[in-house]
Structure 1
């Protein structure tokens, strides 16, 4: 006897729609993590500390990329009849803003060299050059996302991760230095742009592009909270580079490899939950359910790092970093807190709230002010964990309070 298939649940529909993107993002993150793990092994603590600080700087620079992506996706999804106008306006803005960002970073490269105590100015220059394709990629990804072209978008994400590992590994085998690693990163940033160009080369671009002024305004407001989060999640390595010795800052950077792994492990949850968090009748349930999953997965990682710390050392650099082994669980805890905070930040974006971003910036100020007075590796990671935990509690309480008048979910 046959029975009629039951209609797919909302979660099932979300997984079907975002599954290919979730897989691509996970592969991208694994490739990025593998590149950092190989770099830590081949470069050693002293050199890897400077590379980690440069990669942290690139993540902060990438906020413009994410702002462009979010704006393009929202505009196209809201006005599908104006795809041509939005596409042309977004790409025009991306090209201009990428060149302006590159110019600004070139002007700041001497300061970056001194701040991060680099061996030369060339790695800072490579960060500036790599910002051009990275920014353009954000616009391309947003257009594909808004048009719901999931397969090309997945290929773009894959191109953002795999070439970095392949090119970076080859470059570090030839010369394991910060300059060689950053040259590989800058070069690999062009791979997703090529994929995006092929995917959009037959796009219908209107002769009358969308005005840049409203786009700039929307990108600014959308990027403000993301910039705060990326500043909070990366400022500690910049502090470590300046207040700790080269060896200890390298140990801290190795511990952050585990932190980033735990942070990015549940990133697909945000991809799947974001649409539900945008609807008033489902965002409370989506937020609490997703947060519970992210926190539970993170706590499993914390327990694993504590019990299997010797095994975890294999993934953060090997025996050269043995001094950080007993504190790996703290770095896993930091990753858990950051992954939970990231979900809350996207929940803020989903309900288009702007004030919550100031709370994240306040946490950045606290870490920067107090962290500059900390003289030990353990002290710094504990400070960041405590600050993030307090911020998480405040943001969650504020978000639930703002949702108290939301309509009940449909049954």
Structure 2
């Protein structure tokens, strides 16, 4: 119980710090420049999907296959560092595309974004190993070190120079602290060659599962972040900034109850408990989301202060829409992790269709409200399909590995 509470508190601190950084950036930069920063952070979230896939795979496999912990951890940590450098290099080289897509004032911001991918990805593998080993203290410290340094260092850099590049430089420097903590916690781990044919199969299976998890989480991350990129292209810079300001409320409603997914994930991996765990999660997130929507409507003037003040009054009356969007995304996140826990193969395709719909239909909108309503409608549809898939099927759809290391522990 104490461990669970500690993780919940640490994740709350992380999310509050992340939210505070967005709030400070919105206030100090104004709608136009903050719209660019919000777009950069959205792209970073999409590029960081490998981090989430590595963490989910490491945690699940270490718990499910304790006799293969050595091979699993070696495979995860090796793949983590390799993936971080490859993905980071690709992101840096793509700076012209990012600069063009987000209409950035300088390519420096896009280059800094690519560099941020390296420490962010490394953190995923490290956190997954610690979570699987149930080493809650260092894992909690990693979570705390994500949010607090970001708001402190990000604010410091913005005080020196109020530009989108300064904000991203603060994010880059702050992103290095979690992997320092993770490296110290895992300093006794070392890369070892496979001891036998079984270890080789285990490593191959872990990499395959990490790849599948990353694809599913990529789809979810794209669905929950690409609307701000669409806004930068279909709305004027001022309205796109207002939309990005509204998304601060969305992210707050999405991320503050994120600990529920961490707590319920093991139960969702057990076929006998999976449906009950999902129902409990849906009930909790549904009630919390409904309260958030009502609060965003009744206290919209107060919410305006937290998203950047009077500069964002153009979106104040519609903040309840963004709260509803965050509530839906929190439910969708639970359902996506429910699919991962049972190694479902359809989840990523369903969410991917939602991403295509967001980009295609979002491009046809011409106002802030129209874009928000379009995204909301798409998310409702995706949530409905996933609910039917996870709750109405009598048995989960699982990936069949041609050479499984051992029978699935809890598919």
User: Is the TM-score greater than 0.5?
Assistant: yes
Unaligned runs of 5+ in 2: 398-411
Q: Does 1:266 align with 2:257?
A: yes
- Counterpart of 1:105? 91
Would the aligned equivalents of 2:344 and 2:396 in 1 still touch at CA under 8 Å? no
- Counterpart of 2:7? 21
Would the aligned equivalents of 2:91 and 2:114 in 1 still touch at CA under 8 Å? yes
- Counterpart of 1:336? 327
How many residue pairs get aligned? The number is 392
- Counterpart of 2:222? 231
CA distance in 1, matches of 2:27, 2:355: 30
How much does 1:352 deviate?
Answer: 1.2
CA distance in 1, matches of 2:100, 2:302: 36
Would the aligned equivalents of 1:87 and 1:205 in 2 still touch at CA under 8 Å? no
Alpha-carbon displacement from aligned partner over 1:272-310 (angstroms, at most 9, x marks no partner): 111111112221121112101101111101001111110
- Counterpart of 1:146? 132
Unaligned runs of 5+ in 1: 1-14, 407-411
- Report the more deviating stretch, 163-172 or 68-77: 68-77
How much does 1:208 deviate?
Answer: 3.6
Would the aligned equivalents of 2:19 and 2:248 in 1 still touch at CA under 8 Å? yes
Within 5 A, what are the aligned runs for 1:200-215?
Answer: 200-203=186-189, 206-208=192-194, 211=200, 213-215=204-206
Alpha-carbon displacement from aligned partner over 1:303-329 (angstroms, at most 9, x marks no partner): 011111101111111001001011001
Q: Does 1:321 align with 2:312?
A: yes
How much does 1:258 deviate?
Answer: 0.2
Within 5 A, what are the aligned runs for 1:154-193?
Answer: 154-193=140-179
- Counterpart of 1:222? 213
Within 5 A, what are the aligned runs for 1:88-99?
Answer: 88-99=74-85
1:203 match: secondary structure: coil
CA distance in 2, matches of 1:22, 1:391: 27
What do you get for the CA RMSD once the two structures are aligned? 1.7
CA distance in 2, matches of 1:107, 1:405: 40
How much does 1:94 deviate?
Answer: 1.4
Q: Pick from 375, 378, 397: which aligns with 1:384?
A: 375
How much does 1:207 deviate?
Answer: 4.8
Would the aligned equivalents of 2:76 and 2:207 in 1 still touch at CA under 8 Å? no
CA distance in 1, matches of 2:252, 2:346: 29
Residues 253 and 354 (structure 1 numbering): CA distance in 2 closer, same or farther, change over 3 Å? same
- Counterpart of 2:400? none
Would the aligned equivalents of 1:303 and 1:329 in 2 still touch at CA under 8 Å? yes
CA distance in 1, matches of 2:163, 2:335: 37
How much does 1:76 deviate?
Answer: 2.2
Q: Does 1:55 align with 2:41?
A: yes
- Counterpart of 1:277? 268
Would the aligned equivalents of 1:84 and 1:204 in 2 still touch at CA under 8 Å? no
1:56 match: secondary structure: helix
Within 5 A, what are the aligned runs for 1:7-86?
Answer: 15-86=1-72
